[in-house]
Structure 1
């Protein structure tokens, strides 16, 4: 699934993404580390994987979207 990076804190390696419908989803350091990224800037297109549904939905993997 694709999304857009919305926020990112390099200190905690966590932040949030916006789904294409505008829904924000937070991610933690584990999801960031799983993608092998070093840095993320707001506005970058990312590929994510999620787990759970509804209010329990969370990002488990985030990496840059490549074309």
Structure 2
């Protein structure tokens, strides 16, 4: 799935993305590290992998990496 980087905190290595429908979804350090990135800037297109969220709610991001075309 694709999204757009919205926020990123280099100290905690966590942040959030905006899905294409505008829904913000947060990610933790584990998802960021799984993608092998060193830095993320707001506005970059990213590819994310998700797992179902608790009680079928907002999905949990398990991987964030740059989107390549």
Shorter chain as normaliser: what TM range? over 0.9
CA-CA distance at 1:58 after TM superposition: 0.9
What SS does the corresponding residue of 2:57 show, helix, strand or coil?
helix
- TM-score, normalised to structure 1, is 0.95
Give the number of aligned pairs.
Answer: 67
5+ residue gaps in structure 2? none
CA-CA distance at 1:56 after TM superposition: 5.0
CA-CA distance at 1:55 after TM superposition: 2.5
5+ residue gaps in structure 1? none
| Pairs within 5 Å for 1:1-67 | 1-53=1-53, 54-67=56-69
What value does the CA root-mean-square deviation take over the aligned residues? Answer: 1.0
- TM-score, normalised to structure 2, is 0.92
Residues 9-44 of structure 1, C-alpha deviations (whole Å, 9 max, x = no match):
000000000000000000000000000000000000
CA-CA distance at 1:57 after TM superposition: 1.6
